[in-house]
Amino acid sequence: MAANLRLTAAAAAELGRQAAVAGTPGKMHLDVIPGECAQHIIRIRPGHLEGIAIARADGITLHAPQEQVGILKNLYLDYRGDLSGGGFLIRAAKGIEPCACGSAFTRR
């Protein structure tokens, strides 16, 4: 694995569910786009669109563009859901400031 992005059990389960519904069992893609509330925002889509495997857990492999591996270092991807919906959230380690929205972050 090129990046040390980590998936929580909840994130792995939701990624697996979304991949199966989309017809790409076991494969999801994450990339980073410019954010409005923070420097970067994550975008998650089904399949293996490009890049390399950056995380594996519970039967799901998450891919990302090779050039974004450094941006994703030391991030934790979590998922929170409730009766009104759910979403993926960034949990950060040292040097990363997550935005209040949960899916955006800034590297310090």
Domain with residue 98: its CATH number is 2.60.300.12
User: Is residue 1 domain-resident?
Assistant: no
Rounded to whole angstroms, the Cα distance separating 97 from 5 reads 15
Tell me how many domains the chain contains: 1
| pLDDT tier for residue 45 given thresholds of 50, 70 and 90 | very high
| Residue at 53 is within a domain | yes
Domain residues for the domain of 51 are 6-107
Q: CA–CA separation, 32 vs 69, rounded Å?
A: 10
Q: Is residue 40 part of a domain?
A: yes
pLDDT-derived band of residue 32, with 50, 70 and 90 as boundaries?
A: very high
Counting residues of the chain whose pLDDT is more than 70, the rounded percentage is: 97
Residue listed under structure tokens 């955006």: 104
- Percentage of the chain with pLDDT > 90? 65
In this predicted structure, what is the pLDDT of residue 26?
95
Q: What is the pLDDT averaged over residues 78-102?
A: 87
Q: What pLDDT does 83 receive?
A: 85
Q: What is the pLDDT of residue 2?
A: 54
Structure tokens that stand for 9 in this block: 């059990």
